[in-house]
Amino acid sequence: MFQKILIANRGEIACRVIATARRLGIVSVAIYSEADGRALHVALADEAWPVGPAPARESYLAIGKIIDVAGRAGAEAIHPGYGFLAENADFAEACAAAGIVFIGPPPAAIRAMGSKAAAKALMERSGVPLVSGYHGAAQDFSRFRAEAERIGYPVLVKASAGGGGKGMRVAAGPEELAAAIEGARSEARNAFGDDRLLIEKYMTAPRHIEIQVFADAYDHVVSLFERDCSIQRRHQKVIEEAPAPGMSEAQRQAMGEAACRAARAVGYVGAGTVEFIASGEKFYFMEMNTRLQVEHPVTEMITGEDLVEWQLRIAAGEALPLSQDRLRVRGHAIEARIYAEDPAHDFRPSTGTLIHVREPPRASHLRIDSGVGAGDAITPYYDPMIAKLIVHGETRATAVRRLAAALAQYEIVGVETNLALLRAIAAHPDFARGALDTGFIAREAKTLLAAPAGETADPVLWAAAALAALADARRERAAEAAASADPFSPWNEAGAWRMNGDGYQDLVLTLGEETVRLRIHPEPGGACRLDLPPMPMVCPMGGSLRAEAAEDAEGGMALRLEGVLHHLRVVRRADMLVVVRGGCNHVFHVADPLAPPAGEEAGSERLVAPIPARIARVLVKAGERVRKGDPLIVLEAMKMEMTIVAPLDGVVENVLHGAEEMVEEGTELVTFAAPPRKSC
């Protein structure tokens, strides 16, 4: 076994690999970019070496620098994690040339599976079933059109070099084919530097079922069973589980054998995943990922094996730790990927500092893999995944319940997250039944993305925000009084109750669409009465509630409202108070009660970059007339394209930035000449 390894990655996967290395007594060497000096993986590793600036190209993808650090640190092997250099055959070769073991398959196997088209041709010859499609060399439109006719619409146009759901477009009919090819081609060129495409029959409502395989250098190949990754958005996985619901033993065996055949066909060694698209009992090869997979923890939970340990042993020249007949499925595991993204806005990534993070309490059936914590930033440079939450249960029903419960205890403030969406999925009856397919999120979007019902109608939330705001005001006054020259001045009375004569304090709070003026009267012993004005939902006639707040054992707020005790947390964020309850964030704005009402928000027609991004394409010119909703600019951030559309009918006055420029969040992109006046 190795004495010392380097981990050429960051975030949760780097932390994950370090954990196994430590358990096995292997010294771990981390690398880090300028954006990651204080990252968790850097703190956890035995050594951490800087490799360059924040952009991945100059650090985590800089092959020469990484090999150089490995040599200087005396690492015998490099674990690439996933993403970055994990499927880069040149990197695997460079490791070998430097006398360092690449913890992954041989470069030839990476190459063979690197092109989806070439891999499909190879699988066809090995008797692995394929979805009908065209994966030939000819790339002219007439050929694609003819093949699409033959296959039958709808068809899926895919980048042959694709990954992470990028470079994929559906054409429902012949009239959509040209645009689909154009879109997939340009995305592929930008993301992978290779614009070759293939087309496949687009299956409606299929399942994504993949097989985890492992091979050693002694001709042994085993399947560590399947994972169902059908819960996806934008063709990217969000929830994965093992085993696949409803999988028969016969199908498991058939898919496992097909996957092992695929691995053997390319002389595979190490961990790999063969992805299939499945419909009923039928399944078809999609691609093979020649690396550890993001969702490998669910396999670890049902097999009780450490897949990173398997990788290390095999890379060190050992045989597979277990043969097929010693592998068993135990119970059920589900993983939810927690992303910094905004599901309500087409899942666009959200950047910022994690002001508050609180993970659910540890338990043996629960695992959290994360590379960030409170105080860390989600930057536009890397993947926006915050954490993976993995639960295990003896049955799927138990696992689903545990998933829902753990999600309700996960608290994140500072960036938008998909937590509410995940909770909605966990609570959905179809998910509970195991009726999964890849169209689930898109089809159920309306239900899944609905705002928390009756948020503004919950007096507990108003009371929590009010008492927190009051506590803040008191603290501020106490601090001011302490700093003041005359601490005994009546103006500095910390309670400030007397200021209002009969002792009350007014607060104006806004939650969603609702703005409310509350009056708080103190009562002896720290409690108070909270006067709520008539609010149609909360208290139609207005009312007065007895409230008392204290810090609870978890550092949160124990709020007693009319005698009923509630546990929640209030996090301060600029002029906002975020009340976190049941995994849900309720954002209150605290207004100065004396300030005039806010006017209309100015500049709603300014077109700005919603997040820091690179301009991928500019689709309009100054002077061009556009209609509301027309695409203007395509941005790329966090490996994802985002189209900025016209907010109104009008004429483009100026395009302020060109393709390839990097823009900060809030940078104005396009200005409009005054929109044409509507005639009366």
Closest residue to Mg ion: CB criterion: 275
- Using CB under 6 A as the binding rule, whether residue 48 contacts ligand ADP is answered as no
- Using CB under 6 A as the binding rule, whether residue 164 contacts ligand ADP is answered as yes
- Using CB under 6 A as the binding rule, whether residue 438 contacts ligand ADP is answered as yes
Query: Interface with ligand ADP by CB under 6 A: which range of 6-14, 441-449, 505-513, 557-565?
Result: 6-14
* Angle at 240 (CA atoms; ends 237, 241), nearest 5 degrees: 165
- Using CB under 6 A as the binding rule, whether residue 200 contacts ligand ADP is answered as yes
Report the nearest approach of ligand ADP to the CB of residue 119 (Å): 10
- Using CB under 6 A as the binding rule, whether residue 12 contacts ligand ADP is answered as yes
| Structural contact between residues 309 and 103, judged by C-beta atoms closer than 8 angstroms | no
Report the nearest approach of Mg ion to the CB of residue 301 (Å): 21
**All residues at 6 or more sequence positions from 208 whose CB lies less than 8 Å from its CB, including other chains:** 228, 229, 230, 232, 237, 275, 276, 277, 278, 286, 438
CA distances from 84 to 232, 316, 630 (A): 22, 22, 34
The residue behind tokens 């601490």 is 487
Amino acid in position 175: E
Report the nearest approach of ligand ADP to the CB of residue 667 (Å): 24
CA distances from 419 to 189, 409, 413, 422 (A): 33, 10, 11, 5
- Using CB under 6 A as the binding rule, whether residue 123 contacts ligand ADP is answered as no
- Per CB under 5 A, residues contacting Mg ion are 275
Query: Interface with ligand ADP by CB under 6 A: which range of 7-15, 243-251, 446-454, 488-496?
Result: 7-15
| Structural contact between residues 73 and 47, judged by C-beta atoms closer than 8 angstroms | yes
Judged by CB, which is closer to ligand ADP: 107, or 162? Answer: 162
Judged by CB, which is closer to ligand ADP: 83, or 393? Answer: 83
- Using CB under 6 A as the binding rule, whether residue 383 contacts ligand ADP is answered as yes
Angstrom distance (rounded) from CA 471 to CA 557: 12
What's the gap between Cα 9 and its chain centre?
A: 17
Q: How far apart are the first and last CA of the chain?
A: 81
Judged by CB, which is closer to ligand ADP: 81, or 650? Answer: 81
* Angle at 637 (CA atoms; ends 411, 165), nearest 5 degrees: 85
Report the nearest approach of Mg ion to the CB of residue 187 (Å): 15
Report the nearest approach of ligand ADP to the CB of residue 595 (Å): 43
Q: What is the dihedral of CA 36, 38, 40, 43, to 10 degrees?
A: 120
Chosen residue from 202, 214, 268, 347 binding ligand ADP by CB under 6 A: 202
Dihedral sign, Cα of residue 502, residue 507, residue 508, residue 510: negative
The item of ligand ADP, Mg ion, none sharing an interface with residue 83, based on CB under 5 to 8 Å by kind, is: ligand ADP
Beta strands in 523-639 (DSSP E): 528-532, 543-551, 557-561, 564-573, 576-581, 584-591, 607-608, 613-618, 625-626, 631-637
Report the nearest approach of ligand ADP to the CB of residue 324 (Å): 23
Chosen residue from 131, 222, 238, 578 binding ligand ADP by CB under 6 A: 131
Query: Interface with ligand ADP by CB under 6 A: which range of 162-170, 415-423, 604-612, 667-675?
Result: 162-170
Angstrom distance (rounded) from CA 169 to CA 182: 9
Task: Number of residues interacting with ligand ADP: please give it, by CB under 6 A.
Answer: 39
Angstrom distance (rounded) from CA 603 to CA 585: 27
Judged by CB, which is closer to Mg ion: 162, or 459? Answer: 162
Report the nearest approach of ligand ADP to the CB of residue 358 (Å): 20
Tell me the backbone φ, ψ of residue 575, rounded to 5 degrees.
-95, 25
- Using CB under 6 A as the binding rule, whether residue 636 contacts ligand ADP is answered as no
Angstrom distance (rounded) from CA 81 to CA 104: 9
Chosen residue from 55, 81, 104, 360 binding ligand ADP by CB under 6 A: 81
Chosen residue from 106, 206, 343, 459 binding ligand ADP by CB under 6 A: 206
Residue 522: is the preceding peptide bond cis (ω within 30°)?
Answer: no
Judged by CB, which is closer to ligand ADP: 166, or 477? Answer: 166
Report the nearest approach of Mg ion to the CB of residue 642 (Å): 21
**Residues in 646-665 at the binding interface with ligand ADP, rule: CB under 6 A:** none
Judged by CB, which is closer to ligand ADP: 337, or 402? Answer: 337
Judged by CB, which is closer to Mg ion: 241, or 275? Answer: 275
**All residues at 6 or more sequence positions from 513 whose CB lies less than 8 Å from its CB, including other chains:** 456
Beta bridge partners of 337: 388
> Beta strand 4-7 with 77-79: parallel, antiparallel or unpaired?
parallel
Angstrom distance (rounded) from CA 92 to CA 76: 13
Neighbours of 68 (CB within 10 A): 14
The item of ligand ADP, Mg ion, none sharing an interface with residue 385, based on CB under 5 to 8 Å by kind, is: ligand ADP
Query: Interface with ligand ADP by CB under 6 A: which range of 88-96, 231-239, 441-449, 573-581?
Result: 231-239
Judged by CB, which is closer to Mg ion: 168, or 616? Answer: 168
Residues annotated as part of the active site: 291
The item of ligand ADP, Mg ion, none sharing an interface with residue 10, based on CB under 5 to 8 Å by kind, is: ligand ADP
Angstrom distance (rounded) from CA 651 to CA 358: 48
- Using CB under 6 A as the binding rule, whether residue 241 contacts ligand ADP is answered as no
Judged by CB, which is closer to Mg ion: 40, or 168? Answer: 168
The item of Mg ion, ligand ADP, none sharing an interface with residue 581, based on CB under 5 to 8 Å by kind, is: none
Chosen residue from 135, 196, 208, 519 binding ligand ADP by CB under 6 A: 208
Angstrom distance (rounded) from CA 566 to CA 368: 26
| Structural contact between residues 660 and 615, judged by C-beta atoms closer than 8 angstroms | yes
Judged by CB, which is closer to Mg ion: 231, or 545? Answer: 231
Report the nearest approach of ligand ADP to the CB of residue 153 (Å): 12
Do you know the residue count of the chain?
680
**Residues in 285-344 at the binding interface with ligand ADP, rule: CB under 6 A:** 286-287, 289, 293-295
Residues forming the site for ligand ADP (CB under 6 A)? 9-14, 81-84, 131, 156, 158, 162-165, 200-203, 206, 208, 232, 235-237, 275, 277, 286-287, 289, 293-295, 383, 385, 438, 639
